[in-house]
Amino acid sequence: QVQLQESGPGLVKPSQTLSLTCTVSGGSISSGGYYWSWIRQHPGKGLEWIGYIYYSGSTYYNPSLKSRVTISVDTSKNQFSLKLSSVTAADTAVYYCAREPIAVAGYFDYWGQGTLVTVSS
Amino acid sequence: SYVLTQPPSVSVAPGQTARITCGGNNIGSKSVHWYQQKPGQAPVLVVYDDSDRPSGIPERFSGSNSGNTATLTISRVEAGDEADYYCQVWDSSSDHPYVVFGGGTKLTVL
């Protein structure tokens, strides 16, 4: 059974960079066949896809966030990470990592439990 | 950008059938996926590719997709089905495809 677990600071100051890591267990990122995504949910609101990475390092981002987002992968640790720069209060959200089987029009079959990140001074 | 429209809320009595819609321009040409999210928990995939169910999801959950509307149907609704439900597609209509979620529907079991 694949499990994903987010980790990182729960509080980030405005204008700084939000950094989160997702640790995958029960399966290897390097095995291929999946994209590894970040998704966020503003408090009391809907879901917003941030972007994904393939084990090779190829990335694809939501056009609305692309200028501030970097997703990277560390296959030796079976982890992938999110960096979101120049954060504001509008970036306060629960951040989820998720797995997406590679397909023509993919879905997210496994999710982490989510981690709340608050942007505040 | 592609927009998915869901009703904010749907209410149904236990044992009845709940239908949650997801509207989008020619959504019938896309693969639609549905998630269930209970308070304080991560979303769970309940239907993918319009009408397929992941293992472990009860047969009471089914989906359909045609024209401009996709529908998640929950038969014989139980109290434990009370949750927020989100539809999702990949919008490939532009040069930069991306994931789109609907705004979510809160299912209340009366």
* Residue A98 in this model has a pLDDT that exceeds 90: yes
pLDDT of residue B96: 78
Taking only the tens place, the pLDDT of each residue in A27-61 is: 999 988 999 999 999 999 999 999 999 999 999 99
Distance of CA A31 to the CA centre of its chain: 19
Residue that the structure tokens 């293992």 belong to:
B55
> What average pLDDT does this structure show over B31-56?
97
Are A62 and B99 in contact (CB < 8 Å)? yes
Taking only the tens place, the pLDDT of each residue in B70-98 is: 999 999 999 999 999 999 999 887 777 88
With beta carbons under 8 A apart, name residues in chain A contacting B89.
105
Whole-number mean pLDDT of chain A? 95
Mutation site for A-interface testing, chosen from B34, B85, B99, B105 by largest number of A Cβ within 10 Å: B99
Whole-number mean pLDDT of chain B? 95
Q: Is A30 helix (H, G, I), strand (E, B) or coil?
A: helix
Distance CA A48, CA A62 (A): 9
Distance CA A117, CA A71 (A): 17
pLDDT of residue A24: 98
Q: How many interface pairs between A and B have CB atoms less than 8 angstroms apart? A: 53
Find the range with the poorest average confidence among A77-81, B43-47, B65-69, B90-94. B90-94
pLDDT of residue A103: 75
Number of neighbours of residue B88 by Cβ within 10 angstroms: 26
For chain A, the C-alpha Rg in angstroms (whole number) is 14
pLDDT of residue B83: 98
With beta carbons under 8 A apart, name residues in chain B contacting A62.
98-99
Are A46 and B101 in contact (CB < 8 Å)? yes
Q: Does B2 touch chain A (CB under 8 A)?
A: no
B76 CA to chain A: closest CA distance, Å?
A: 24
* Residue B1 in this model has a pLDDT that exceeds 90: no
Taking only the tens place, the pLDDT of each residue in B19-39 is: 999 999 999 999 999 999 999
> What average pLDDT does this structure show over B63-68?
98
What is B28-90 written as a DSSP string? GGS--EEEEE-TTS--EEEEBTTTB--TTS-TTEEEEEETTEEEEEE-S--GGG-EEEEEEEE
pLDDT of residue B51: 97
